[in-house]
Amino acid sequence: MKNPLTVISPYTHLAGHYWAYTVDMTKAFMAAGREVKAYAALPPRNTRDLPLLEWTVCAPWVTVLQSLEKRNRGWGSKSDALLRNLEFYLCLRNAVKDGGDGSIFCVESRHQLLLKAVMKTNRRFSTLCVGAPDQVTLTRRADLYRRAFATGRLEFIVETEAVRQAWEPLAGEHAVHIPAALTERTDPILDKAEARMRLGLPREAFIPLFFGTHREGKDYRTAIEAAKLSKSQPTLLFAGPLISGNDPEALLLELGYDHAVSWKRYYPDDAVALLFDACDAVMLPYERGYTKGSGVLLQACKYGKPVIASDTGHLAEFVSRHSTGLLYKPGNTESLASVYDRMAEGQQIGAASMKLNIQRTVLEYNWKKLVERYLEIFDGEGSQSIKHGLLPS
Establish if 19 belongs to a structural domain: yes
Q: How many domains does the chain have?
A: 2
What is the span of the domain harbouring residue 219?
A: 192-364
What average pLDDT is seen over the chain?
Answer: 89
Any residues with CB less than 8 A from the CB of 119 and at least 6 apart, and which? 147, 148, 151
Do 287 and 341 lie in one domain? The reply is yes
Do 360 and 376 lie in one domain? The reply is no
Establish if 348 belongs to a structural domain: yes
Integer angstrom CA distances of residue 295 from 164, 231, 254:
18, 30, 29
* pLDDT, tens only, 253-292: 999 999 999 999 888 888 999 999 999 999 999 999 887 7
Establish if 187 belongs to a structural domain: no
Do 202 and 336 lie in one domain? The reply is yes
Model pTM score: 0.83
Establish if 215 belongs to a structural domain: yes
Do 238 and 176 lie in one domain? The reply is no
> Which parts of the chain fold into alpha helices (H)?
18-31, 62-65, 68-73, 78-97, 111-120, 135-139, 142-150, 161-171, 192-199, 220-229, 248-255, 269-278, 295-302, 313-322, 333-345, 351-364, 367-378, 382-385
Do 278 and 196 lie in one domain? The reply is yes
Do 197 and 340 lie in one domain? The reply is yes
Average pLDDT over every residue of 242-250: 90
Query: Contact at 8 Å (CB) between 266 and 239?
Result: no
* pLDDT, tens only, 134-173: 888 988 999 999 999 999 999 999 988 889 999 999 999 9
How far apart CA 286 and CA 307 sit, in angstroms, is: 13
Do 216 and 124 lie in one domain? The reply is no
Q: Sheet containing 208-211: which strands, arranged edge to edge?
A: 260-263, 236-239, 208-211, 281-284, 307-310, 325-328
How far apart CA 315 and CA 308 sit, in angstroms, is: 10
Establish if 151 belongs to a structural domain: yes
Which residue type is seen at 128? L
> What CATH number is associated with residue 247?
3.40.50.2000
Do 211 and 335 lie in one domain? The reply is yes
Establish if 296 belongs to a structural domain: yes
Establish if 235 belongs to a structural domain: yes
Do 228 and 375 lie in one domain? The reply is no
The sign of the torsion formed by the CA atoms of 57, 102, 5, 379 equals positive
Do 100 and 223 lie in one domain? The reply is no
Query: Contact at 8 Å (CB) between 28 and 371?
Result: yes
Do 115 and 196 lie in one domain? The reply is no
Query: How much is the pLDDT for 350?
Result: 54
Query: Contact at 8 Å (CB) between 128 and 107?
Result: yes
**Within a 10 A sphere around the Cβ of 192, how many other Cβ atoms?**
15
The DSSP line for 193-251 is: HHHHHHHT--SSS--EEEES-B-TTB-HHHHHHHHHHSSS---EEEES-B-SS--HHHH
Query: How much is the pLDDT for 386?
Result: 40
How far apart CA 75 and CA 329 sit, in angstroms, is: 28
Establish if 288 belongs to a structural domain: yes
Do 142 and 9 lie in one domain? The reply is yes
Query: Contact at 8 Å (CB) between 11 and 41?
Result: yes
Average pLDDT over every residue of 308-329: 94
